[in-house]
Homo-oligomer: A and B are copies of this chain.
C-alpha cells in the first residue's frame, strides 16, 4: 500500500476571515467533537475529554482545599419543585426538557431534566439543616445538564446538553457566603489564566444579566477574535432567596431561628471551546502545554536503510522524556510530512524531528507549534530545553491573548464613541447607571451590545461621571460588547 503523504483535508478558511467556520472545522477535524443524531447535542471525543479531565482535576483540588465535597443529586426535578422559586422558574422554564412517560406509563407529574440543580438540592438541604452546627454545607457535583435552547448551537459554547460542575453551599452568615463567592471567582480566573492561558475580566453581572434567583452574580469574561465577548464561568450569591422559598433555616448560637445564606457556582465544558478558539491559527489548534493531552510528539524521519537505527533512537528519546506527556508517532502508513500537518492540526505544543543525520550529530530538531520556530537541540540538553520551551509557550500564549484582550478594550465617555466602539468590534468600558431598562436601550441603540460585567475594583470613576446612555449619575464603570 502506498504511504499516505497527501495532507488530510485541512482547515480551508482563515481564522480572521471566517472565525465561526474556522472554529467548527478545526474542532471537528482535530477529533475533539462530533455531531450527534440529537439536534444541538454533541459527542465530546477523547482528545477533548482529556482536557476536560485536566480542568476537572484543577478545580476539584482547589475547591476541596476550601472544604467542598462532591456528591450526586437526581437528574430529575418534579415540575412542582422547579416552580418553588419564582424568578428561577421563569428563567429556565422555556428551555426545559420534560419526561412525561416511562415505558408505556404516563407519569402523574412530569419531570424536568435538570437545567441546574438548585431546586432538587435545596429540597434535601432543608432536611439536613437544623442547627448552626450543621453549617456550612459545602457540596459540588460534576454532572450533565440540559437546556433546550433554540439559539444556533455552537459546539462547546452552546449545546443543549453540556457537562459542568455546580457548587451549592449553605452558610450561617452573609459574610461567609460572600467571602466564598469571591474565592470561587478566583479559582475560575486561575483555571482559565494558569491552565488554559486565557486572560479574564472579573466582575459583577448587571441586574439584567444576573442568574435567575440570585442577589448578584460574579463572572469571568473574555474576548474572541471575531469581536464578540464570551462568559467563562459564574459564581452566584443567592442571598436568602432560595432558603426562604425552600425553608432552609437553622437555630443559631443565640437560639434564634434564621434563614441560611447560599451560593451556587459553575463552570462548564464551554471552557474547552474558549481556549481552543482563542489560541488556534490557520494550521489548526494550539493547545497550551499545561492542558495538552500530548505535549511533545516525536516524528522519526525514516528512510529504509536507517529505519531501525532511527526508531531505536526515537524510542530512547521517548523514554528519556517520559516526565512529559509524550507520543512517538511510529506509524509506517504515513509520511513525516503528513504527520507534521496532523499534529499541527491537533495543536501539540512541541514536535521533535529525528533523522539519521541528527543521530550522527547527537541532536534533534524541535519545532514550536505557536510560532513555528525550529531549534536544533543537543541530546544532552534536551530534557531541560523541552521544559523551558513548554513553559515559554504557556507564557507566550497567555501574553499574546492578554495583549489582544487589552488592545480591544476602549474607554468611552459619550454614547457616540460607545456606538463606534461596538461597531468596531471592541469591548467598551464606560460609566453606567446599571439599570435594567437602560441596558435594554443600550442594546437597542448600539446594535446588540450587552454589559459583560462591572469590575469589582472601580478605579477611575469620578463623582461627576454620568451614565453613558441615560446621563443619570453613573454608579460604576462596566464592560460592554456584543457577546455569545
A binding-site residues for B, Cβ under 8 Å: 34, 36-38, 41-46, 49-50, 52-53, 69-78, 81, 93-104, 110-111, 113, 120, 123-124, 127-128, 133, 139, 143-144, 146, 148, 161, 163, 331, 333
Contact = CB atoms under 8 A, between A and B. Distances in A.
* Copies in the assembly, this chain: 2
A74 B148 contact: no
A76 B43 contact: no
Contacts of A42: 74
Contacts of A133: 331, 333
B99 A103 contact: no
Contacts of A101: 97-98, 100, 110
B78 A50 contact: no
Contacts of A113: 75, 99, 113
B44 A81 contact: no
Nearest to A69: B46
Which of A43, A72, A77 counts the most chain B CB atoms within 10 A?
A: A72
A100 to B, nearest CB: 5
B49 A70 contact: yes
A127 B94 contact: no
Given A41-B76, A72-B163, A98-B101, 5 more contacts: A37-B120, A37-B123, A42-B74, A97-B102, A98-B100
A76 B161 contact: yes
B74 A46 contact: no
Contact of A71 (B43, B98, B110, B123): B43
Contacts of A73: 36, 43-44
9 contacts: A37-B78, A43-B72, A44-B72, A49-B70, A49-B71, A49-B72, A72-B163, A98-B102, A101-B110
B161 A127 contact: no
B71 A46 contact: yes
Contacts of A50: 69-70
Contacts of A77: 38
Contacts of A111: 38, 97
Given A98-B102, A143-B144, A46 B34 contact: no
A58 to B, nearest CB: 16
Given A99-B99, A100-B101, A148-B103, A78 B38 contact: yes
Nearest to A72: B44
A49 B142 CA distance: 11
Contacts of A49: 69-72
B44 A75 contact: no
Contacts of A127: 34
A182 to B, nearest CB: 23
Given A45-B71, A139-B46, A38 B102 contact: no
